Amino acid sequence: MGEITLTINGKQVKGKEGDTVLEVCQANGIDVPTLCHLDGLSDVGACRMCVVEIEKERRPVPACTYPARDGLVVETNTERLERYRRQILELIFTEHNHFCMFCEASGDCELQKLAYRYQMDNVRYPYTFPSLSVDSLSDYLVIDHNRCILCGRCIRACSEVAGSHTLDFSQRGWKTLVTADLEQPLGESSCFLCGACVQACPTGAIFSKLSLYKGRTDECQQVKTVCPACGVGCELNVLVKDNNLVRIEAPRLTEPRGPLCRMGRFGLLEPTPPRVTSPLIRGKQGELEECTLHKAVEVIVDRLAGVKDGLAGMISTRVPSETLSLFNRFIGEVIGSDSIDTLDGESYRIITNGIRQFQDNGRGLDIECPIEDIPEADCIIVVGADPEKTNPIISTLVRRAVRQRQAKLIVVNSSRDVFPLWTDLWLKPRAGSEGVLLSGLAGILIDKGLVVSGKASARLIKSFSRYSIGEVVRTTGIEEERLELLAGMYGQAERGVIIYGDELLRTNDASSITTILNLANMTGNQVGDRLRVISLKPRANSRGAWEMGLARGIKRGKLKGLYLLLADERDSGELLSWLKGIDFLVVQASYQSPITSMADVVLPSPIWAEREGKYVTMDGRVLELKRVLQPKDGLPQDQEVLIEISQRLGHKLT
């Protein structure tokens, strides 16, 4: 990019070719007021607050859309411009309802701040008072059209950040409204509830029900931490007031890893089940009764003395690595058992088995590409996964690839199209036949010569010719033409990404994972030495737990006693069925649940916001989970409980 020189307010300043005048001003610390501009989004010049005077231009122009050129002479704060800006503000105020005293955004509103800056103490024009609706039918969001200034930031965020483009303008002129789809209520629209629009809105036109009137930004502390909701590991900016969660924002909304999803932005603020606030033990009537930690530990020590064999430990991987490591030692050294697993250990065993069968050189999960490669893809196959359910940010990135790169999207799913309205091709193989479909795909690619020469060994070719095309069609129930369509799309892709997840893993077939890796390898879909393959991993620190060796597996048949560190898991219904026959069950959990009511001893556990430590994300980055809230009523950390029990059993854990 060439360097250019402009004269702004009489001073020579440097810029880059391709910059707008606004970008040059911002890079040189020249203050130009903006309203419809949001760093990282495209510019449209909707509000005209950033008007500047440019020599030889007959009238002021918006700096945000005016391309900077070498030799341009710009004035940004003449008396005339300041007068126009105030006039623009007055006109905006007359257009809809901008009375601050009952607005959720008052104090955090960019329109209000500009009105203060321009000392707008009266409005010289009559107000229009249009009667506009409020859409509050969405689970988390409210659109109050009365507060809207039609800057279009939400629309651009919805399209460029969320990749969804649910929002756009409807109508024309002063009837213009921001609307979802074809004037649907937001709750019935194609909205994915990622909340990018809430963060982009400069006024109180779009706001979150969960943060409503809880606190203004300047009353809150802000803590940068990691999202505990899934394995992606998005960075969060959590706003806290008086030890209560107020709001969760994306620290870098418009960057590749910036957007958040409904689970991170809203899910973490949702009402929770009642907390476990004290240790509980079984009383004489068999009911759980509150007791001191000392007493609960005594019961554990007594009961453990009775059960020598068949003890095991199981832990949620929502906890940081420090807790995982201590738990590993607790089960191994203190309880004396090598039977230990995580709630998602089985997934990891299948994934890594699949990788090992493909290439056993110890690289393990690092053979997969980072998630940044998804929005760059030109073809995406989603097989046996529902990213919108398990890792919504992955589906955001997929939609961005489709919207911004015109990527082909193929869903392979035996029950439903997980990207309705977005897929180019939905293949619906018979349940359990996904592996055959993938092998069939490999066979067609080889037949059609859509593989990189030398990448498919004779042994591989032989193994993929195991099924004839007729057999693949018969087993999967998918017509040959559709399989060929799939092969054409993936075979011709230059940056084809395959994403697989829990539904494929549930088939318990590591060889289909090996096939996926072979497919990517044969077709040369790789970045450097990583293959364009991504497995969706459930919990925030599940990779950390795998790498520390906690997901070793438990022999369920011989199980007599289980120490279950459930942490702040909300949905663990799957566990219930096999916990029943266990003689002695200790559950350390944040929330009361059917599982805690089965336990012999219940111990309290902090929630994500009360913990600190390290998380390893699904693509292997190590991130810091920061303490956001002080633990309620001085509840102990998980480690403190484990150390206490260890001490009573004569072990020194630190």
Chain contacts with other proteins (rule: CB under 8 A): 93, 97, 99-103, 106-107, 112, 115-117, 119-124, 126-127, 129, 131
Q: For residue 565, what are its two tokens?
A: 């560190």
Closest distance between other proteins and the C-beta of residue 106, in Å? 4
Whole-number Å distance between alpha carbons of 337 and 423? 48
Closest distance between other proteins and the C-beta of residue 32, in Å? 17
Closest distance between other proteins and the C-beta of residue 120, in Å? 8
118 vs 584 by CB, closer to other proteins: 118
Residues near 72 by beta carbon (within 8 Å), at least 6 away in sequence:
6, 7, 21, 54, 55
116 vs 169 by CB, closer to other proteins: 116
129 vs 578 by CB, closer to other proteins: 129
Partner residues linked to 411 by β-bridges: 382, 426
126 vs 573 by CB, closer to other proteins: 126
Pairing verdict, β 311-315 and 340-342: parallel
107 vs 251 by CB, closer to other proteins: 107
CA distances, 116 to each of 51, 139, 145, 452 (Å) = 18, 34, 23, 63
Q: Are 394 and 409 in contact, with CB atoms under 8 Å apart? A: no
Q: Could you tell me which of 76, 203, 228 has the C-alpha nearest to residue 148?
A: 203
Closest distance between other proteins and the C-beta of residue 110, in Å? 13
Whole-number Å distance between alpha carbons of 300 and 306? 10
123 vs 425 by CB, closer to other proteins: 123
In this structure, what is the dihedral angle of CA atoms 377, 382, 385, 388, given to the nearest 10 degrees? Answer: 50
120 vs 260 by CB, closer to other proteins: 120
Closest distance between other proteins and the C-beta of residue 411, in Å? 46
CA distances, 638 to each of 227, 459, 611, 644 (Å) = 19, 51, 9, 10
Closest distance between other proteins and the C-beta of residue 109, in Å? 9
| Gyration radius (Cα) of the chain, Å | 29
3-state secondary structure 551-564: CCECCCCCCCEEEE
Partner residues linked to 614 by β-bridges: 624
Whole-number Å distance between alpha carbons of 391 and 398? 11
Whole-number Å distance between alpha carbons of 4 and 71? 8
Whole-number Å distance between alpha carbons of 457 and 455? 6
Closest distance between other proteins and the C-beta of residue 90, in Å? 10
Closest distance between other proteins and the C-beta of residue 154, in Å? 23
Closest distance between other proteins and the C-beta of residue 129, in Å? 4
19 vs 104 by CB, closer to other proteins: 104
131 vs 285 by CB, closer to other proteins: 131
